[in-house]
Amino acid sequence: MDTAEEGRIYKCLFTGSVSSLLTLPLDMLSTDNLLADCLQGCFVVTCTLCAFISLVWLREQIVHGGAPIWLEHAAPPFNAAGHHQNEAPAGGNGAENVAPDQPANPPAENAVVGENPAAQDDQAEEEEDENEEEDDAGGEDAADANNGAQDDMNWNALEWDRAAEELTWERMLGLDGSLVFLEHVFWVVSLNTLFILVFAFCPYHIGHFSLVGLGFEEHVQASHFEGLITTIVGYILLAITLIICHGLATLVKFHRSRRLLGVCYIVVKVSLLVVVEIGVFPLICGWWLDICSLEMFDATLKDRELSFQSAPGTTMFLHWLVGMVYVFYFASFILLLREVLRPGVLWFLRNLNDPDFNPVQEMIHLPIYRHLRRFILSVIVFGSIVLLMLWLPIRIIKSLLPNFLPYNVMLYSDAPVSELSLELLLLQVVLPALLEQGHTRQWLKGLVRAWTVTAGYLLDLHSYLLGDQEENENSANQQANNNQHARNNNALPVVGEGLHAAHQAILQQGGPVGFQPYRRPPHFPLRIFLLIVFMCITLLIASLICLTLPVFAGRWLMSFWTGTAKIHELYTAACGLYVCWLTIRAVTVLVAWMPQGRRVIFQKVKEWSLMIMKTVIVAVLLAGVVPLLLGLLFELVIVAPLRVPLDQTPLFYPWQDWALGVLHAKIIAAITLMGPQWWLKTVIEQVYANGIRNIDLQYIIRKLAAPVISVLLLSLCVPYVIASGIVPLLGVTAEMQNLVHRRIYPFLLMVVVLMGILSFQVRQFKRLYEHIKNDKYLVGQRLVNYERKSGKQGTSPPPPQSSQE
- Phi first, then psi, for residue 782 (nearest 5°) are -135, 135
- pLDDT of 282 over the 80 cut: yes
pLDDT bucket at 667, cuts 50 / 70 / 90: confident
Query: What's the pLDDT tens digit per position in 541-560?
Result: 999 999 999 898 888 888 88
Q: Is the pLDDT of residue 70 over 90?
A: no
Is pTM beyond 0.85? Reply is no
Q: Tens of pLDDT along 23-46?
A: 555 555 566 666 776 777 777 778
Percent of the chain residues topping a pLDDT of 90: 22
Least confident of 346-355, 357-366, 529-538, 790-799: 790-799
Q: 3, 45 in Cβ contact below 8 A?
A: yes
Query: Do 631 and 656 meet the contact criterion of CB atoms below 8 Å apart?
Result: yes
User: Distance between CA atoms of 423 and 192, rounded to whole angstroms?
Assistant: 39
Position with higher pLDDT, 349 vs 172: 349
Q: For residue 514, what pLDDT band results from cuts at 50, 70 and 90?
A: low
Which pLDDT belongs to residue 510?
Answer: 40
Residue, of 157 and 457, whose pLDDT is higher: 457
Q: Which of 158, 386, 167, 178 is nearest to 292 (CA)?
A: 386
CA atoms of 296 and 394, how far apart (whole Å) = 7
Tell me the pLDDT tens digit for each residue of 491-504: 433 333 343 444 44
Average of pLDDT values for 303-309?
A: 90
Distance CA 474, CA 747 (A): 70
Contact by Cβ (8 Å): 249, 258:
yes
pLDDT tens, residue by residue, 357-387: 888 888 888 899 999 999 999 999 999 999 9
Helix, strand or coil, per DSSP, at residue 156: coil
Which pairs from 505-508 meet CB under 8 Å and 24+ separation?
A: 505/89, 506/356, 507/89, 507/92, 507/93, 507/361, 507/365, 508/88, 508/89, 508/92
| Confidence tier at 657 by pLDDT (50, 70, 90) | confident
Residues 392, 398, 400: CA angle, nearest 5 degrees = 100
| 525 has a pLDDT exceeding 80 | yes
Least confident of 201-215, 349-363, 766-780: 349-363
For the chain, give the mean pLDDT: 75
* Proportion of the chain above pLDDT 70, given as a percent: 70
**Side-chain-side CA neighbours of residue 61 (13 Å):** 19
Distance CA 213, CA 193 (A): 28
What pLDDT, in 10s, does the model give residues 585-600? 888 878 887 787 778 8
Question: What pLDDT sits at residue 499?
Answer: 39
In the prediction, which pLDDT does 497 show?
A: 39
pLDDT attached to residue 157: 39
pLDDT digits (tens, 9 = 90+) for 625-651: 999 999 999 999 988 888 888 888 888
pLDDT score of 166:
56
Instruction: State the helix-helix crossing angle for 34-65 and 255-275, rounded to 10 degrees.
Output: 120
How many Cα neighbours within 13 Å face the side chain of 327? Answer: 21
Q: For 333-347, how does the pLDDT look when each residue is reduced to its tens digit (9 = 90+)? A: 998 898 898 888 888
